[in-house]
């Protein structure tokens, strides 16, 4: 699928053709995105929103068109609900600051799950420390799915917000966020969905899902680094205070009283990443020209093939084997005497053969602790990967396992 559009895939690593299976960490960029960045700086770079001159108006128009594209991608009610941030981590920190300041007091509770990325744990922990609130954790069942009955038990009149990943960055499994949202809303509790690993792989509709907030990163969806999105329902964003102060987010400033700008600018202090938003708009056009449904279907087939081929190898343990996955598969390799081969060793030997995978705790230490391993090896696919990539990866892994016996 359109492999030729991604120039980096022609690179050689250690003299071997690159097989890039680290897409959950970041995706490679198609030529249209690379060209967009050069075009922005080469043809119309100027600061947005404040300029009457031509270039500033062009830049503003392109930045705002990109916002519309993101709104279309996520199916929001309006583009005012799209706040540009630096990435998923920044979005969650902003939300924890803004929502936390306005809505959370001592004794209140925030719920996350055992399988969250650190960026969906630590900002909430920091909020709880600031406010004297309590962080509650949805436990995992034996099959590593979220324990929904336990979640229901955690919801109380003290719960202020639930924040969960739609797709686990370690296990690749899809969590039942719709059910979580329904149960939380029945108690009047708001829900934030970490869409970092889902928006690039699934067709996401925030209105259908009915989440209150959703966060994502452009770089995980063929877009540039340094750009992310915080989606919030308008009624929430109207009500919440800005998380950061500075230029752009104000209406009037005086030493006596400052008033804030309208949505979404109230949440966008300082010069925004308009080159990034423009390039991300191009990535969205690119993805939509292929079709998110077609991408999801293709990647699902690849992930199933990847897992099937892995399962044929001796002494490989796949986590959440057989569960519905979007993009990523995590595993560990054991020696014949049953001793775990450290994931780093596997990763290094794969790298020597041109295969890029990620090893370690994947910024999800509480989940890795739960699995009682030092880390995992994670292979994650994107639309440009092929069955041949997976065959090369499996052959390289077979060799690595032999060398590590």
Q: Closest distance between ligand PLP and the C-beta of residue 5, in Å?
A: 22
Binding to ligand PLP by CB under 6 A, coded x per residue (else -) over 118-157, reads -xx-------------------------------------
Task: Name the segment binding ligand PLP (CB under 6 A); options: 102-110, 114-122, 246-254, 308-316.
Answer: 114-122
- Touching ligand PLP, residues 71-90 (CB under 6 A): 87-89
**Per DSSP, which regions of 178-270 are E strands?**
190-194, 213-217, 228-232, 250-252, 259-260
Q: Are 272 and 226 in contact (CB under 8 A)?
A: no
Q: Quick check: 282 and 36 in contact, CB under 8 A? A: yes
Q: How far is the CB of 165 from ligand PLP (least distance, A)?
A: 5
Q: Which of 183, 201, 381, 212 is nearest to 290 (CA)?
A: 201
Active site residue 211: no
Residue 240 binding ligand PLP, by CB under 6 A: no
Quickly tell me which residue has 């990866």 as its tokens: 393
Phi-psi group of 153: left, alpha or beta (phi > 0 → left; psi -120 to 50 → alpha; rest → beta): alpha
Question: Which residue in 121, 66, 17 sits closest to 393, CA to CA?
Answer: 17
Query: For ligand PLP, how many residues bind (rule: CB under 6 A)?
Result: 12
Preceding peptide of 224 cis, ω within 30°: no
Region binding ligand PLP by CB under 6 A among candidate stretches 40-48, 113-121, 130-138, 203-211 = 113-121
Q: How far is the CB of 175 from ligand PLP (least distance, A)?
A: 10
47: number of Cβ within 10 Å: 15
Question: Contact letters (x/-) for ligand PLP, 200-239, by CB under 6 A?
Answer: -----------------x----------------------
Report the residue from 194, 212, 307, 389 that binds ligand PLP according to the rule CB under 6 A. Answer: 194
Contacts made by residues 291-297, CB under 8 angstroms, sequence distance 24+: 292/202, 292/203, 293/203, 295/1, 295/201, 295/383, 296/201, 296/202, 296/203, 296/326
The binder of ligand PLP chosen from 19, 48, 165, 397 (CB under 6 A): 165
- Least Å distance between CB 29 and ligand PLP? 15
**Contact of 173 with 322, CB cutoff 8 Å:** no
In 3-state terms, the chain is what percent helix, strand and coil (to 5)? 45, 20, 35
Q: How far apart (Å, rounded) are the C-alpha atoms in residues 216 and 275?
A: 18
Which run of H or of E encompasses 241? none
Q: Which is nearer to ligand PLP, 162 or 396 (CB)?
A: 162
When binding is defined by CB under 6 A, the residue of 163, 169, 330, 353 that contacts ligand PLP is: 169
Distance in Å, CB of 369 to ligand PLP, minimum: 17
Q: Which of 93, 114, 197, 376 binds ligand PLP (CB under 6 A)?
A: 197
CB of 169 to ligand PLP, least distance (A): 3
Q: Which residues are catalytic?
A: 363
Name the residues that contact ligand PLP, by CB under 6 A. 87-89, 117, 119-120, 165, 169, 194, 196-197, 217
């Amino acid at each position: 699928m359109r492999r030729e559009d991604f120039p980096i895939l022609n690179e050689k690593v250690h003299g071997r053709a690159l097989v890039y299976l680290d897409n959950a960490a970041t995706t490679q960029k198609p030529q249209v995105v690379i060209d967009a960045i050069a075009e922005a700086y080469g043809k119309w770079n100027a600061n947005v929103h404040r300029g009457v001159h031509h270039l500033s108006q062009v830049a503003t128009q392109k930045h705002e068109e990109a916002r519309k594209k993101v709104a279309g991608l996520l199916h929001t009610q309006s583009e005012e609900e799209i706040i540009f941030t630096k990435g998923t981590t920044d979005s969650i920190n902003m939300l924890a600051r803004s929502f936390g300041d306005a809505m959370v007091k001592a004794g209140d509770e925030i719920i996350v799950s055992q399988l969250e990325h650190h960026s969906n744990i630590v900002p909430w922990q920091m909020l709880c420390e600031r406010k004297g609130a309590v962080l509650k954790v949805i436990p995992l069942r034996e099959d590593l799915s979220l324990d929904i009955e336990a979640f229901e038990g955690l919801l109380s009149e003290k719960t202020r917000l639930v924040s969960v990943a739609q797709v686990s960055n370690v296990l690749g499994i899809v969590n039942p966020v719709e059910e979580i949202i329904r149960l939380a809303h029945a108690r009047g509790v708001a829900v934030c969905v970490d869409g970092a690993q889902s928006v690039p792989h699934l067709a996401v509709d925030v209105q259908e899902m009915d989440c209150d907030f959703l966060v994502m990163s452009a770089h995980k969806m063929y877009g540039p680094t340094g750009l992310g999105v915080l989606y919030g329902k308008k009624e929430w964003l109207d009500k919440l205070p800005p998380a950061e102060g500075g230029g752009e987010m104000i209406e009037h400033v005086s030493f006596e009283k400052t008033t804030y700008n309208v949505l979404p600018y109230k949440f966008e202090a300082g010069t925004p990443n308009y080159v990034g938003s423009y390039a991300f708009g191009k990535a969205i056009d690119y993805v939509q020209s292929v079709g998110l449904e077609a991408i999801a279907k293709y990647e699902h087939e690849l992930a199933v093939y990847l897992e099937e081929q892995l399962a044929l190898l001796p002494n490989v343990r796949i986590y959440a084997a057989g569960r519905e996955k979007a993009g990523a598969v995590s595993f560990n390799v054991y020696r014949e005497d049953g001793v775990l081969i450290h994931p780093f060793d596997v990763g290094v030997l794969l790298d020597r053969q041109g295969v890029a995978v990620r090893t370690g705790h994947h910024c999800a230490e509480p989940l890795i602790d739960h699995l009682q391993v030092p880390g995992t090896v994670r292979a994650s696919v994107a639309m440009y990967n092929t069955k041949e990539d997976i065959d090369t990866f499996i052959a390289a892994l077979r060799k690595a396992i032999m060398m590590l016996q």
